[in-house]
Every structure is written in structure tokens, then in C-alpha cells.
């Protein structure tokens, strides 16, 4: 509300109160213009007065013109006027273009239908010929594609086999991992057995003893060669492990946002770990100029002096000694031991959580001494106290037994078996079970010796379908994919057979009864073997209860169906 003066007479004014109603809607833009000189914009304004509403009469009215449509149907026929002119008196019409029609032979309805059937048969002959040509052509194309696919698969298998043999040869020629040395010792054992059999078959007496002694000397030389390779490989692997640890400490913090993007952030601890990593790489580098080596040593000295301790004093003394020897132009071959000591002490310095906070959660040995008493067991073979992860515990064991290193040494000294094939099968099995995401537990309880027993004694080291015996090509999958994997719900197949098996929906329709019976017998053998283990007994009882419940449901449903049928 606001007041204003209104001129009522020629000389008098009256104060009037004006009420302004604010609109509750946005006014539409009605255009405008802009002053070219001043740049001021002017908008066109609309009226604020509301439209006058019509009075409500109390009755609902409609407009007839918008509801009524007049329709009219009117047929039309176009005219077609024809005429015929005939000869008559006074008019001649030429008949040169006329045709003389004579009646043909009369035939009955039966003859007409026979004629139609004969024509239909002719049409069917030509259609079937065309259809047969197309079918044969399609079969030829499918056969051609099938043969090309089989040739491609065969060449791919051959190429993969050649690559596998080449990879195995390379692994045996330059062994780096534990699996590589297992293959070497396994091949050595096979060669020793063949040579021993040949000597026993061909030689006797003193010649046989001399040949066996020479074979023993060759075996000792090969084992010494293997051990030299193992020392070199352990040094390289240790250096790679140290770099991997330091690189893991230097990784920035990562987290996933709500939109799926990965965000990275460097903290003060990660930057410090990255700086220590670069210094360690520079210190452990070889064949660098003396000036660069001196600069790296001085940088290392400044870095370790930030934290005073006994280890820092030792590192500084070794750095001063190397700088002095470099200034005296001592040969680099004489400085290798000193440089290794510097690298070792600097690595110990990096592993101090006070210096590098990021390494605290990655150390195998915890900083708290009380944590050392948890999950620590005694190995009766090497007489060392080790964490539980260093022990290979099968499902049928009641005690801890020997550690992994002792098992490895015993295998290299006696059996010399290669567990690489079984390890690959177990890794593929655990990976496939993790992809199901149905909380599978039994597969992670089964250890390598248990899987080896299943493959060798229950499945006879061959595919259940094709009897293929190459373990590198075999995988173990679920027999019934609706339930989790277990030794009594498993089948050993090739990779192609496993892919086809997992696509099946009904096993009873896909396989013969004899094959299913054979698989069930193997499952019973596996169940009897693993029933002796305490860790597996609870899963066996759960599985039996589920099977009994399902059989009870089937039995009750069949009984109800029989009662309903009898009632009808």
C-alpha cells in the first residue's frame, strides 16, 4: 500500500490509498530496445490488470461446433460407354481383322483337376530342386567355415604348444623362480632314472659300478650348477622385491569417487617415500661416472643426517670412506663390497617407520613384539619359529608339520616332483570360484597335496570326457554350477569342454546315464576320502542335509500328485 495525491477539482487535491497486487508468475518477455548512445535497455511492459472473469451461471455449457461432425457418404461410378457396329443394309464393316473361334475339346472336371495337380507337381519339382540347391550350398558354406575354424583352432593349439615348449625351454635355460628350479630338478630326476635303467640293462659287474659312479658325479655337477643359478636368481629376485616394496610405499593415495573416477593424492609420507626410492635406485645403480657417484653419496649423507641414530653414523662413515677411496682413484671392482654395505644399511634405514611411515604396514615383521607371539609355530625340521603362512597344511593334517622351505628341500633331495601343473589348476579353480561371488569356502580349504591326490587317484590325470592326459590343458570346474565347488561336486575337463559344460542347463539331458553314474562314483570316492578330515566334515553334513531336503521335497510333491490323480 502507498498513498498518492489525486486532483479532484481545479485547485484541490485528495490523498488516495493505492493497493498494488504482486503477480505470482513470471512476466513474459515482450521485447524492447536499447539506446545506442547511452546503452540503457528498455523493456516493453504488459498490463497488470487481470482479465475479467465471466459470471458463473451454475450450468456447464459446451460449444456444439467443436463436438459435432457432419459426415456424408456418396458413392460415385465413372461412365464407360461402349458400342458395337454390325454389318447391315447400307453399311459395310470389314471382317479382315476378325478371328474365327472354334470350340476346343471338352474335358470333364476330373480331367481338369488332374491337369491342375500335374501342373502343381511340376512346380513342386522345380521348387524342391531350387530349395535343395540352396540347402546344399548352405551346407557347403557351413562345412567350409567349420573346416576353416577347425584349422584355425588346430593352428592356434599348435602355436600355443610351441610357445609353451619355448617358454619352458627358456625357463629351464634361465631359471628365475621356484617353479623353474622345480622343473629343472624334475627333468634331472627323469634323466637319472633313464640312465640308471639303461646302465642296469646293458652293463654288469665292475663296469656297471663305474658307470653309476660317473652318473653320480654328473648329477653332483648339475646340482652344483643349479645352485649357482639359484644364487644369482635369488639376488635378482631380492633386488626386485626391494624395489617393489619401495615403489609400493611411494604410491599415492587412491580412492574411487561416486562417479567412478579414480582420485589420487600425494601426501607428505608418500613424497618422502618417493624421494627415498630415487636415492636407493641411484645408490644401487652400477657403471655411473665418479662425479655422479660422489653427488649421489653427498645427497645420501644429507638425507640420513636428518635422523640421528647409530645406523646413521655407520652410513656416514661408509660414505666418507667411499668418497675418500674414489678421490684416491681406487678401482671400482675393489669398491663393490663397500657399496653393497652402503645399500644394505640404507635399506635398513628406509625400513624404519620413523623415517618412512609408509613402510610400517608393509613389513613382514611387526614393530610390536607382542604380535610376534600370535600365529607362530615351530618347525621340527629346521627348528625355526615361523608364522603360519610359511607352513603348507593339507586338509588331512592334524599337526603343523614342516615349513614350506623344508618341504622344498626334501622334494629337491628325494622325490623331485614338479607341482607347477597342479598349482596352475588350483589357481584357475580359485579364480573361477571367486568370479561366481557366491561365498565359496571349500575351494580355499583344499591345498595343493589334496588337489594332487584328487587328480591322480580319483580322476586318473585325464579328462572325464575325452581322456586327454596333458595337465596343462585341463581345468577343474563345478559339476553342478548351481552349487559351490567341492571335491564331490567337481569334474576334470579340458578348457573347451569346461566352457561347453558350464553352458548346460540340464545335465541329465546332456549326458548319458552311464557317464553320470561314473561321475557319481568318483564323487563318492572323493566324499569318502575327505570325510576323514575335520575341516571338511561340517561341509559334508551340510551338503547331505540339503540333498535330503531336496529329495524330501521331490518325494512329497510326487505323493501329492499321486493322491490328486487317485482322487480324480
CA 561 to chain centre: 46
Average model confidence (pLDDT) across the chain = 83
Under the banding of pLDDT at 50, 70 and 90, the label for residue 147 is very high
Cα 174 from Cα 169, distance rounded (Å): 9
Cα 319 from Cα 338, distance rounded (Å): 9
Is 476 in a helix, a strand, or coil? strand
Which residue is associated with the grid cell 619401495?
246
pLDDT in tens, 379-437: 888 888 888 778 876 656 667 778 888 888 888 888 888 888 888 899 999 999 988 88
pLDDT in tens, 294-308: 898 999 999 888 888
Residue 340 φ/ψ, nearest 5 degrees: -65, -40
Is 262 in a helix, a strand, or coil? strand
Residue 262 φ/ψ, nearest 5 degrees: -95, 125
563 or 44: whose pLDDT is higher? 44
On the question of pLDDT at 446 being above 90, the answer is no
Q: Is the pTM of this model over 0.75?
A: no
- Residue 548, pLDDT score: 47
Range with lowest mean pLDDT among 26-30, 237-241, 253-257, 266-270 = 26-30
pLDDT in tens, 101-139: 888 888 899 999 999 999 999 999 999 999 999 999 999
Under the banding of pLDDT at 50, 70 and 90, the label for residue 543 is low
Amino acid at each position: 500500500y502507498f498513498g498518492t495525491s489525486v486532483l479532484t477539482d481545479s485547485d484541490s487535491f485528495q490523498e488516495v490509498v493505492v493497493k498494488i497486487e504482486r503477480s505470482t508468475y513470471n512476466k513474459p518477455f515482450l521485447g524492447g530496445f536499447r539506446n545506442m548512445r547511452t546503452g540503457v535497455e528498455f523493456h516493453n511492459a504488459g498490463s497488470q490488470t487481470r482479465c475479467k472473469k465471466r459470471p458463473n451461471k451454475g450450468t456447464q455449457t459446451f460449444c456444439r461446433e467443436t463436438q459435432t461432425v457432419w459426415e456424408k457418404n456418396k458413392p460415385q461410378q465413372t461412365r464407360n460407354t461402349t458400342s458395337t457396329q454390325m454389318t447391315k443394309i447400307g453399311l459395310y464393316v470389314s471382317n479382315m481383322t476378325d478371328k474365327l473361334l472354334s470350340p476346343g475339346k471338352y474335358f470333364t472336371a476330373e480331367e481338369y483337376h488332374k491337369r491342375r495337380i500335374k501342373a502343381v507337381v511340376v512346380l513342386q519339382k522345380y521348387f524342391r530342386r531350387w530349395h535343395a540347391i540352396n540347402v546344399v550350398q548352405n551346407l557347403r558354406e557351413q562345412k567350409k567355415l567349420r573346416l576353416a575354424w577347425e584349422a584355425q583352432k588346430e593352428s592356434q593349439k599348435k602355436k600355443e604348444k610351441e610357445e609353451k615348449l619355448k617358454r619352458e625351454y627358456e625357463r629351464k635355460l634361465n631359471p628365475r623362480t621356484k617353479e623353474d628350479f622345480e622343473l629343472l630338478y624334475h627333468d634331472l630326476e627323469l634323466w637319472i632314472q633313464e640312465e640308471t635303467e639303461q646302465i642296469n640293462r646293458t652293463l654288469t659287474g665292475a663296469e656297471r659300478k663305474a658307470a653309476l659312479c660317473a652318473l653320480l658325479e654328473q648329477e653332483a655337477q648339475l646340482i652344483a650348477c643349479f645352485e649357482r643359478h639359484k644364487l644369482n636368481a635369488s639376488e635378482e629376485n631380492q633386488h626386485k622385491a626391494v624395489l617393489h616394496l619401495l615403489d609400493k610405499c611411494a604410491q599415492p593415495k587412491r580412492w574411487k569417487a561416486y562417479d567412478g573416477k579414480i582420485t589420487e593424492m600425494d601426501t607428505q609420507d608418500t613424497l618422502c617415500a618417493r624421494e627415498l626410492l630415487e636415492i636407493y635406485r641411484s645408490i644401487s645403480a652400477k657403471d655411473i661416472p665418479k662425479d655422479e657417484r660422489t653427488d649421489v653419496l653427498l645427497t645420501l649423507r644429507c638425507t640420513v643426517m636428518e635422523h640421528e641414530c647409530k645406523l646413521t653414523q655407520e652410513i656416514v662413515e661408509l660414505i666418507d670412506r667411499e668418497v675418500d677411496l674414489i678421490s684416491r682413484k681406487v678401482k671400482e671392482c675393489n669398491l663393490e663390497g663397500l657399496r653393497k654395505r652402503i645399500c644394505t644399511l640404507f635399506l635398513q634405514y628406509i625400513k624404519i617407520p620413523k623415517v618412512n611411515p609408509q613402510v610400517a604396514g608393509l613389513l613382514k615383521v611387526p614393530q610390536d613384539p607382542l604380535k610376534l607371539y600370535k600365529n607362530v609355530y615351530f618347525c621340527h625340521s629346521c627348528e625355526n619359529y615361523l608364522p603360519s603362512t610359511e607352513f603348507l597344511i593339507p586338509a588331512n593334517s592334524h599337526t603343523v608339520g614342516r615349513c614350506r622351505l623344508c618341504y622344498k628341500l626334501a622334494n629337491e633331495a628325494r622325490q623331485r616332483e614338479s607341482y607347477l601343473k597342479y598349482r596352475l589348476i588350483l589357481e584357475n579353480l580359485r579364480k573361477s570360484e571367486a568370479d561366481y561371488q557366491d561365498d565359496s569356502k571349500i575351494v580355499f580349504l583344499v591345498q595343493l597335496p589334496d588337489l594332487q591326490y584328487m587328480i591322480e587317484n580319483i580322476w586318473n590325470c585325464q579328462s572325464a570326457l575325452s581322456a586327454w592326459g596333458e595337465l596343462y590343458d585341463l581345468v577343474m570346474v563345478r559339476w553342478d554350477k548351481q552349487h559351490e565347488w567341492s571335491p564331490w561336486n567337481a569334474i576334470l575337463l579340458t578348457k573347451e569342454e569346461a566352457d561347453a559344460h558350464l553352458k548346460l542347463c540340464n545335465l541329465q539331458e546332456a549326458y548319458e546315464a552311464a557317464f553320470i553314474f561314473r561321475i557319481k562314483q568318483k564323487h563318492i570316492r572323493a566324499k569318502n576320502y575327505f570325510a576323514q578330515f575335520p575341516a571338511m566334515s561340517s561341509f559334508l553334513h551340510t551338503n547331505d542335509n540339503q540333498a535330503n531336503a531336496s529329495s524330501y521335497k521331490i518325494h512329497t510333491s510326487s505323493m501329492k500328485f499321486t493322491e490328486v490323480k487317485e482322487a480324480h
